[in-house]
Structure 1
Amino acid sequence: MPDERKSDAAPIIEGLPKGRYIRGAIVASVALGLGYLATFIGADGSNPDSLFGKQAPANTLYMTVLVAFLVNWIAFIPANYLQTEKFFDLTGSITYVSCTIFSLVLGAAPVFDGDGWTFSKRSIIQSAFTIVWAVRLGTFLFARIKKDSKDKRFDEIKINPPRFFAVWTIQGTWVTLTALSVFVVNSYGKSYDEKDLGVTDYVGYAIWLVGFAIEVVSDKQKGWFAANPANKGKWIDEGLWFYSRHPNYFGEITLWLGQFIAASATFTNAQWGCAISPVFVYCLLMFLSGVPMLESRGLEKWGDDPQYLLYLKNTSVLVILPKGKATNVETPLVLSGDDKV
């Protein structure tokens, strides 16, 4: 069975309300509103003045978020014309990379104060982390869609332009909320440049590295398991998957927590609202798009298998823990699509 790992924004489409124009417009409007609200928090409550006015860092942040939506809206045009979802996951990764580079360069540009280009160390480090993560995941997901040729979740969505447009808009919001801490650090790079890297930064970097390693290893182990014909029709319970039913999601949540912690070394006032980033990733994967969807599919396939039920009882749903330390013994969540062959 093919690998069913999806991008983090894409699964939201399964919960979109049905309808043609009005509901699609409402969903898109809410997504835009959330993006603006998150940016207002990250800008410490500052609204942009002129393009290069006294609120230049805030302007950079607002323009970065605008880029996040523009990239997805532009990609929507050919996708809607061709009625294809093949570019969706790849566009998500391109959005991360584009916005990260845009905010990094514009935040360090001499046009704001004439002092010359000034890149802060933390901006460069956190941008590099984001780009590495986005490129790896983007190529991973694009290879999957090329192999599988389609994503069945889009079958009803892509033939309805308003709902399809809403999905691309949601992806812009997803990028904004997830990488908000990084965009803030980049946008305010000059003012942060005088603050040396400290314990908080290094703790955040260490957490990111651990999370990234867990995500990469989990995906590799799942790929190796799926490639073995002897494992056809089985759930994966080897490697990190022996200790967690969704170690790849645990890795992703962990790495974004690390980004927030590292960035928090420079936060003031409302910027602490950037804590929405790791909280958003956790809530989305645990309660909306990731774990619930995959667990229910697993129950449908292996719910009558005593060995599978034992695996559920003894294996943590998310955090990598020793056997028997599962946090959901009484109400087991079930493995599925993302975690099976």
Structure 2
Amino acid sequence: MNALASGFAWGGFALNLAVSAGVAFAVLLVTFAVALRAGVHRIVDVAWGLAFAAVAVSSYGMSAGYGDGARRLLVTLLTVVWGLRLAGYLAWRGRGQGEDPRYERLLGRASGNRTWYAFRVVYLVQGALVWLVSLPVQAAAYETGPVSFLAWLGTALWLLGLTFETVGDHQLARFRADPANRGTLMDRGLWSWTRHPNYFGDFCVWWGIFLVACDAPAGAAATVVGPLAMSFLLIGGSGKALLERHMADRPGYAAYRARTSGFVPRPPRGRRERDGETGS
């Protein structure tokens, strides 16, 4: 069955998988070198978004002559805009700060050389995750059929997710910048509807990108592991679950947790009781 008949250019996609793996690991390798020079590994968080953008751009170039031009451009723009926004925000938030406590704890487990331990468990793992999560981006670039309603529905879901991320990050940054809020818990705006508006936004972004790749059933079946992996990371891995373990003992957090959705936004239960609530 040829690519036009199947709606998916399998030969080009297979080569793209290898190239995108090299691109993702190249970004993380450069980041590793920069982190060693700077003395902090938190820089890898900035590289997370940049690596996705790099994979999207390389897939766009590699898929020329294979996939539908409009879909190739659409999925590239969705991924690059998301990746650059995230990278820029994390770079701004981390400016002038020392090592992230998460990486301090992680590297504290090293039994040998901390540098190579960091390379293995942080940079190599993140490179592999970028490649895995970005499978729908790569697949969408090789679909030969025209953009359908399903792809535009995915774009709308992506926009919802990006809005939640951007607004939630902006609200939290303004809250933390106000000295009057020092020691209090952020439970306003989107943060009163969900304890994790940024993680919920990421969830919507990557399921939206997956829908853009769903016009060819074969491509969708081959790449659904991408948004599933991101969902696991956001909800049960290094996202929501890890942060809530860190916050569990903060005064007022139990009450905030009781009245506020843990992920999918909904109106808060009951009234806020600000007195005595502290946290970060």
Regarding TM over 0.5, the answer is yes
> Which of these residues, 124, 129, 139, is aligned with residue 174 of structure 1?
129
Supply the distance in 2 between the matched residues of 1:280 and 1:78 (Cα, whole angstroms). Answer: 27
1:125 paired to 2:74 = yes
Contact 1:61/1:184 (CA < 8 Å) preserved in 2?
A: no
Distance of 1:87 and 1:248 partners within structure 2: 19
The residue aligned with 2:16 is 60
Aligned-partner Cα distance in 1 for 2:35–2:192: 39
Q: 1: distance between equivalents of 2:193 and 2:36?
A: 41
Secondary structure of 1:300 counterpart: coil
- One of 170, 182, 196 as aligned partner of 1:246: 196
Cα contact 2:140–2:212 (8 A) shared by 1: no
Is the CA contact 2:175–2:186 (under 8 Å) kept in the aligned structure 1?
yes
Distance 1:81 1:212, change over 3 A: closer
Instruction: Please give the secondary structure, in 2, of the residue aligned with 1:289.
Output: coil
1-side partners of 2:248 and 2:102: how far apart? Answer: 19
For 1:134 and 1:245, how far apart are their aligned partners in 2? 22
Counterparts of residues 8-23 of structure 1 (less than 5 Å): none
Comparing 77-86 and 257-266, the one that deviates more: 77-86
- Which residue of the other structure, out of 160, 164, 168, is the alignment partner of 1:210? 160
Mapping of residues 36-75 of structure 1, within 5 Å: 55-75=11-31
Of residues 85, 102, 107 in structure 1, which corresponds to 2:63? 107
Quickly say closer, same or farther: Cα 1:163–1:229, change in 2 above 3 A. Answer: same
Equivalence for 2:213 = 263
Counting only pairs closer than 5 Å after superposition, residues 86-97 of structure 1 correspond to structure 2 as 86-97=42-53
Equivalent residues, number? 260
Output the aligned Cα RMSD: 2.5
Instruction: Give the distance between the partners of 2:88 and 2:259, measured in 1 at CA.
Output: 33
- Alignment of 1:277 onto 2:226: yes
Q: Is the 8 A contact 1:61 1:183 kept in 2?
A: yes
Q: What are the ranges of 5 or more consecutive residues in structure 1 without an aligned counterpart? A: 1-43, 47-54, 113-117, 326-338
Distance 2:204 2:34 in 1: 35
- Which has the larger displacement, 124-133 or 315-324? 315-324
Separation in structure 1 between the aligned mates of residue 184 and residue 210 of structure 2, nearest angstrom: 37
- Report the TM-score, using the length of structure 2 for normalisation: 0.84
Aligned mates of 2:249, 2:225 — CA distance in 1: 33
**2:111 matched to 1:162?**
no
Structure scoring higher RCO (CA < 8 A, sep ≥ 6) equals 1
Deviation string 1:181-235 (CA, Å, 9 cap, x unpaired) is 011122x25xx1xx22211111111111111111111111111111111111111
> Hey, what does 1:311 align to over in structure 2?
256
Instruction: Give the Cα separation in 1 of the matches to 2:37 and 2:174.
Output: 37
Identical amino acids, percent of aligned pairs? 28
Q: Does 1:228 align with 2:178?
A: yes
Q: TM-score, normalised by structure 1?
A: 0.70
Runs of at least 5 residues in structure 2 that lack an aligned partner in the other structure: 1-7, 271-277
User: Which residue identity lines up with residue 211 of structure 1 in the other structure?
Assistant: G
Shift of 1:78: 4.5
Contact 1:244–1:321 (CA under 8 A) maintained in structure 2: yes
CA distance 1:313–1:133, change in 2 (3 Å): same
Q: Is contact 1:180–1:277 with CA below 8 Å preserved after alignment?
A: yes
